[in-house]
C-alpha cells in the first residue's frame, strides 16, 4: 500500500513542509473533499487544524474542486486549476481527478487554518533546501 505525501503550507510564514504518512494512519483523510478541514493529529501536528486545498493522483493528474467524487475523467478545461491557457480563449481536453480523496491520491496539499502551541518549523524541522548553497569555485 502506498503512502500519502501531505504538503502543509503555512500562510503566515509562506513556507511549506512535506510529511509522508502511511495510508492506514491517514484513514481519516480518505473520503474528505477539497475545502474540508481535518485535525492535524493524523500528521503529528497536535492542536493544528488543516484545510485540503488540492492534490494529485498516482499518475500526476490534478484534483479539481468542481468535479465531484473520486473519479478520473477527461474534460475540457479553459482556466485554472488544472490548465493555464497561454492564449485568451484557449481550451484543452485534459485528464483530471475529482475533488474527493481516495486511495489513488498520492499527494495532498493543505494549508493551516488554526495554529497549534508549537510552530511548524519546530514540529517538522528544517528540510534540505534551507541551507545556503556554496558559491561556484569554492
Of 130 and 118, the structure prediction assigns the larger pLDDT to 118
The arithmetic mean of pLDDT across residues 42-56, rounded, is 90
- Residue 23's Cα: distance from chain center in Å? 15
Could you write out the three-class secondary structure of 39-78? EHHHHCCCCCEEEEEEEEECCCCEECCCCCCCCEEEEEEC
Question: For 28-42, how does the pLDDT look when each residue is reduced to its tens digit (9 = 90+)?
Answer: 888 999 999 999 888
Q: Which residue has the cell 492564449?
A: 87
pLDDT at 83: 84
User: CA angle 132-128-81, nearest 5°?
Assistant: 105
Amino acid at each position: 500500500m502506498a503512502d500519502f505525501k501531505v504538503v502543509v503550507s503555512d500562510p503566515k510564514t509562506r513556507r511549506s513542509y512535506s510529511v509522508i504518512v502511511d495510508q492506514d494512519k491517514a484513514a481519516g483523510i480518505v473520503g474528505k473533499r477539497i475545502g474540508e478541514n481535518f485535525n492535524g493529529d493524523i500528521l503529528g501536528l497536535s492542536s493544528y487544524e488543516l484545510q485540503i486545498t488540492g492534490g494529485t493522483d498516482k499518475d500526476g493528474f490534478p484534483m479539481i474542486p468542481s468535479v465531484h467524487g473520486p473519479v478520473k475523467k477527461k474534460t475540457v478545461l479553459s482556466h485554472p486549476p488544472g490548465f493555464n491557457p497561454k492564449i485568451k480563449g484557449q481550451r484543452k481536453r485534459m485528464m483530471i481527478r475529482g475533488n474527493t480523496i481516495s486511495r489513488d491520491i498520492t499527494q495532498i496539499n493543505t494549508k493551516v487554518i488554526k495554529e497549534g502551541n508549537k510552530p511548524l518549523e519546530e514540529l517538522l524541522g528544517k528540510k534540505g533546501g534551507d541551507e545556503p548553497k556554496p558559491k561556484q569555485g569554492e
